[in-house]
């Protein structure tokens, strides 16, 4: 596709439920990033992939958060046993080169997760 695509756009989960968020980056983009954006805040870094390798997962808030990109294209962010504080917009971004290296990073529209 022409841009970064994320699905679903909206997800309502009951507390304790597992969720999976999908990101389709721009074709050919090497780098993929996940960010968490709480209401009224700027996005905060979660994790970074270069192709299929997860090079940085320092931003994942707990071991309930897991991300993968097995074939170096589509990525999935999984949250186990969701809690109310997980409610946020989850943004995915991709860029052509490894790391940002002054190149454009393109963001998807995000998945708004609400945990009730």
Bond from prior residue into 8 cis (ω within 30 degrees of 0): yes
Given 21, 26, 93, 113, the residue binding another protein (CB under 8 A)? 93
The dihedral sign for the CA sequence 12, 19, 57, 5: negative
- Select the span of 11-19, 70-78, 80-88, 93-101 touching another protein (CB under 8 A): 93-101
Q: Evaluate whether 44 touches 59 at the Cβ level (below 8 Å).
A: yes
Q: How far is the CB of 28 from another protein (least distance, A)?
A: 18
30 binds another protein (CB under 8 A): no
CB closer to another protein out of 86 and 90: 90
Question: 21: burial class by Cβ within 10 Å (0-12, 13-18, 19+)?
Answer: buried
Positions in 35-74 near another protein (CB under 8 A): 35, 40-45, 48, 55-56, 58-59
25 binds another protein (CB under 8 A): no
- CA distance linking residue 86 with residue 92, whole number of Å: 16
Q: Is 98 helix (H, G, I), strand (E, B) or coil?
A: coil
17 binds another protein (CB under 8 A): no
Chain residues that interact with another protein, rule: CB under 8 A:
4, 33, 35, 40-45, 48, 55-56, 58-59, 91, 93, 99-102, 104-105, 107-110
């Amino acid at each position: 596709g022409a841009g970064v695509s994320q699905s679903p756009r909206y997800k309502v989960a009951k507390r304790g439920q597992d969720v999976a968020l999908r990101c389709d980056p721009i074709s050919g983009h090497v780098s993929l990033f996940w960010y968490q954006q709480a209401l009224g805040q700027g996005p905060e870094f979660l994790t970074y992939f270069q192709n299929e390798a997860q090079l940085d997962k320092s931003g994942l808030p707990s071991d309930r958060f897991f991300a993968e990109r097995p074939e170096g294209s589509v990525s999935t962010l999984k949250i186990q046993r969701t809690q109310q504080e997980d409610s946020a917009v989850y943004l995915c971004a991709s860029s052509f080169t490894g790391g940002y290296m002054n190149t454009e990073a393109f963001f998807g529209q995000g998945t708004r997760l609400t945990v009730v």
